[in-house]
Structure 1
Amino acid sequence: MSIKTSGLHHVTAIGGDPQRNADFYLRTLGLRLVKTTVNFDDPGTYHLYYGDQSGRPGTLMTFFPWKDAPSGRLGTGQATTTSFSVPESSIGWWKQHLGQAGVEASQVTNRDDEDVLTFRDPDGLQLALVAHPQGDPRDPWDTALVPAEHAVRGLHSVTLSVSREDATAGMLGDLGLDFAAQDGNRFRFTAGDGGPGALVDVLVTPDAPQGLVARGTVHHVAWRAPDEPTQASWRAELVDRGVNVTSILDRQYFRSIYFREPGGTLLEVATDEPGFAIDEPLLELGRALKLPPWLEPDREQIQAVLPRLDLPSENDMAGTDRA
């Protein structure tokens, strides 16, 4: 087996009102909007990418926000919780911060020696903040509302809900993940060196309803490939194993292939290259609507359809200066 992903690349979900989405992820969660673009397959809606200062793989949460999208339903066959990594000493700060922002959060629980705080975004997407006891060395985005000492370091893990675990576990093994631990009906798998950003939990809930992917649910989970030749090799290997994989698609900031794991969740393998600074400077990430070359001729029509999006100062590197 040659496939060996190093961890999560991004998680993509379906949101509602784009302005409300941006305000929550920029101001409440303290992430940076690193790219404002459109859904390349449906350019009548935004595709918003949130992450750290430069949008490194493993820090990214992205959204297709449709203002009038119907609500989804959590259940089997989908990723039901997206977890972010925060410093071990910051869970109490986050509990207070979320409360001040009007976000109802759970009591802090401990699972696998990690403190966990769960809550939902304005569209009902299930999220968690997790403090890993060994820490997380990734540098955070620093804002006045969420200072660096407490800020999100990046993705921690995703939870896949399935009716049975064997086939899903097999697919995760095909991607190079290793079984790490079991806690009741929760099975943990690790990629690469393990730790935050390289974890997936498989939650077995045979009596749960089938999930419905719509507003407030995850659309797909993406895993990292270092470059295009590696991705092409992995795709060929998956095809040889009988997996129904898409062709390699140009997503401008990375290349992608998509397929479903046997439990039903849509997975992606995305390249680390070329990144988000290929069409705008680091200082200006996310400020302007960026379109791929094949959609640029339609810019006027696309902009006429998209709702206005005003970014708060927390997305401006100059606006993070609290001196």
Structure 2
Amino acid sequence: MTSGLHHITAITRKIQANVDFYCGFLGLRLVKRTGGFEDAAQLHLFYGDAVASPGSLVSFLAWEDGSPGRVGHGAASEIAFAIRPQAFGFWLTRALQSGIGTEGPAMEFGEPVLRLKDPDGIIVKLVGTEAVKGGTPWNARGIETDDAIIALRGATLLSEHTTETTGFLARHGGFVPVETAGSITRMISQSGQILDIRDATGFWPAAPGTGAIDHVALRLPDVAAVDAEVASLASEGIDAVNVHDRKYFYSLYVREPAGGLIELATDDGQGFSIDEPLEVLGTTLFIPDHFRLRREDIVPMLPQFGLPGEPRILYRDLPFVYRIHETDAPDGSTLMLLHGTGGNEASLLPLGRKIRPAATLIGLRGRATEEGVARFFRRFGPLEFDQADIRAEADAFAAFVEQAVEAYGLAAQETAYLGYSNGANLLAAAMLLHPGLVRRAVLIRPVPVLDPWPETDLRGSDILILAGSEDPYHARSVRLADGLQALGAKVTLEDVDAGHELSGEDTLRAAAFLR
């Protein structure tokens, strides 16, 4: 067994930009795409060399529109990749042509270093060195083998307790301190990979979030070695460890003395080729088995992206946070989805995919968050609504629809709308305030929220209202149906054997209506 790094994991805000940088610009191979092992609805991508060698891997969890993280002590601050020293000219030119800012080259520990920033602001260093035992470079478009990234060179860890941190990494990771320059102690492994431990005393602590490095994983030979570390750590009084079978490797997580999250991961077995042939590695989305989730319930919730040269969704800046989910064989129709209280732009995508299997789905996120969860407009109590906010958000929704139609070439006559609870209420309000905007809609568990109602001509609107027979707001759903019908809308009111919650019957009835 050769000690060294196994992988480094960070968090990205926008997955397409992340793929474009790590695959398109750096030329790494996407070697695995999965749902997250802690949260299946969180996309997790691994990049590496041509054969997904341990020690070549960086991975990213997608927190789309998540809160930004903060670099500080108790976490890593930089990711370093090894390139051949003679490749520096190529990378300087490539960065200039790609519009990516650079810092350097500069000499660090006798090695030339070029600093870049990825789309989330994470510092990425290209280090000219022959010291790393390299893997098999991926033959990326526009990058010759001699210029390609060789392997992970290492990471920089910020610590307020550098002596304790270096001791921990030496005992449990096989890294050896070799040199100190200023505030940085360099540790090296048998693979030639390094960890630079920077004294960050007095600096602020790290905070998790997008644009932050979550953890650094070190290599151990096998499962027995990982299990042995549990006992070894316990002998040091460290019992707070989490052991996991990640399918592609077995590992434990532990906090080093300065608070940094360290993973100890196995270097044996088939790795990422266990469920995917090497020649097509990284092309199939896998959902971790332990969630026991149906694929159709989770895949629509994961953000989509395209590899370099593949079609991709170019997101436009529109009034709401939103998510688009496309099928491989779209039929030209669109279904726009508005969640209930506490949901987000992905919440109704699985429902939408069952209702309209071939439609392009667009899920919106409500912008009112005064209650700590996303809603489409403010309320003062269970049935007390902010009338000014309803009107403002209905106007914003109308602007979103108009701009989305133009930006994505949507066929207005082939666009339907579905809202649940609070989202259904905004849809109904938008129909009243902007007649003609929404012609075909499914409203699940809605209530009337506008006061007073405008005198609106809703002729030409076709609406299905699904009321829960046990819903305490059932009578209000009926009142809304009567009011919309009185204004000329064609309204179909159906009772579903449910309360206010969604049910399987809602899916069947909505699908039949929209067919």
Instruction: Give yes or no for TM over 0.5.
Output: yes
Report the Cα distance in structure 2 between the residues aligned to 1:292 and 1:137, rounded to whole angstroms.
30
Q: Verify: 1:290 aligned to 2:286, yes or no.
A: yes
Contact 2:44 2:60 in 1 (8 A): yes
Give the 4+ runs in structure 1 shifted more than 6 A.
none
SS in 2 for 1:280: coil
Distance 1:210 1:137, change over 3 A: closer
1:93 aligns with 2:90: yes
Instruction: Tell me how far apart the structure 1 counterparts of residues 241 and 150 of structure 2 sit (CA, whole Å).
Output: 31
Partner of residue 186, structure 2: 188
Q: 1:134 to 1:36 in 2, by over 3 A?
A: closer
Contact 2:36 2:44 in 1 (8 A): yes
Amino acid aligned to 1:287: T
Paired letter, 1:209: W
Report how far residue 296 of structure 1 moved: 5.3
1:10 aligned onto 2:4: no
Q: Distance in 2 between matches of 1:201 and 1:99?
A: 28
Partner of 2:397: none
Equivalent pair of 1:49/1:62 in contact (CA under 8 Å): yes
Of 226, 234, 246, the residue aligned with 2:229 is 234
Q: 1:128 — aligned with what?
A: 125
Aligned-residue identity in percent = 36
**Judging changes above 3 Å, is the alpha-carbon distance between structure 1 residues 131 and 293 closer, same or farther for their aligned structure 2 residues?**
same
Deviation larger for 161-170 or 28-37: 161-170
**2:159 equivalent in structure 1:** 162
Please tell me the residue identity of whatever aligns with 1:285: L
1:272 is the counterpart of 2:267? yes
Question: Could you tell me how far apart the structure 1 residues matched to 2:104 and 2:182 are?
Answer: 21
1:278 deviation in Å? 0.6
Distance 1:184 1:220 in 2: 24
2:142 pairs with 1:142: no
SS at match of 1:44: coil
* Equivalent residue number for residue 205 of structure 1: 200
Deviation at 1:133? 4.9
Cα distance in 2 for residues equivalent to 1:5 and 1:301: 41
Moved more, 201-210 or 116-125: 201-210
Q: Structure 1 residues 137, 24: closer, same or farther in 2, change over 3 A?
A: closer
Q: Which stretches in structure 1 are left out of the alignment for 5+ residues?
A: 315-323
RMSD of aligned Cα (Å): 1.7
Query: 3-state DSSP class of the match of 1:294?
Result: helix
Deviations 1:188-230 (A, max 9, x none): 1122x252xx210101122321121211110000000111112
> Is the 1:85–1:130 Cα contact (8 Å) retained in structure 2?
yes
CA contact (8 A) 2:159 2:201 kept: yes
Greater helix proportion: 2
Q: Give the 5 Å matches for 1:167-182.
A: 167-175=164-172, 176-182=174-180
How many angstroms apart in 1 are the aligned matches of 2:91 and 2:248?
31
Work out which structure has the larger RCO, using CA pairs closer than 8 Å and 6 or more positions apart in sequence.
1
Q: Is the 8 A contact 2:53 2:135 kept in 1?
A: no
SS in 1 for 2:113: strand
Match of 1:321 in 2: none
By how many angstroms is 1:236 displaced? Answer: 1.6
Structure exhibiting the larger radius of gyration computed from Cα positions: 2
Give the whole-Å Cα distance in 2 for the aligned partners of 1:153 and 1:72.
29
Query: Are the aligned partners of 1:5 and 1:223 in contact in 2 as well (CA < 8 Å)?
Result: no
User: How far did residue 96 of structure 1 move?
Assistant: 1.3
Separation (CA, whole Å) in 1 of partners of 2:200 and 2:9: 23
Deviations 1:131-184 (A, max 9, x none): 115465432111222221111111101100112312112211222321100101
Per-residue displacement from partner, 1:233-292 (whole Å, max 9, x unpaired)?
Answer: 122211222123424211110011000111111000011133000101111111110123
Please say if 1:116 is aligned against 2:116.
no
* Match among 246, 249, 253 for residue 248 of structure 2: 253
Question: Matched residues in 2 for 1:97 and 1:153: separation?
Answer: 17
**Which letter maps to 1:312?**
P
**SS across alignment from 1:248:** strand
Partner of 2:330 in structure 1? Answer: none
Q: Cα–Cα, structure 1 residues 108 and 70, in superposed 2: closer, same or farther, change >3 Å? A: same
Matching residue's letter, 1:186: I
Query: Which segment drifts farther, 113-122 or 236-245?
Result: 236-245
The 5 Å alignment of 1:31-46 reads: 31-46=28-43
Most deviating of 62-71 and 6-15: 62-71
User: Aligned residues, how many?
Assistant: 308
Distance 1:97 1:110 in 2: 20
Q: Could you tell me how far apart the structure 2 residues matched to 1:131 and 1:147 are?
A: 16
Whether the 8 Å CA contact 1:165–1:204 is kept in 2: the answer is: yes
Q: Which amino acid aligns with 2:205?
A: Q
- 1:313, CA displacement in angstroms? 4.6
The SS at the match of 1:108 is strand
Task: Please show how residues 74-89 of structure 1 align to structure 2 within 5 Å.
Answer: 74-89=71-86
Secondary structure of the residue that 2:35 maps to in structure 1? strand
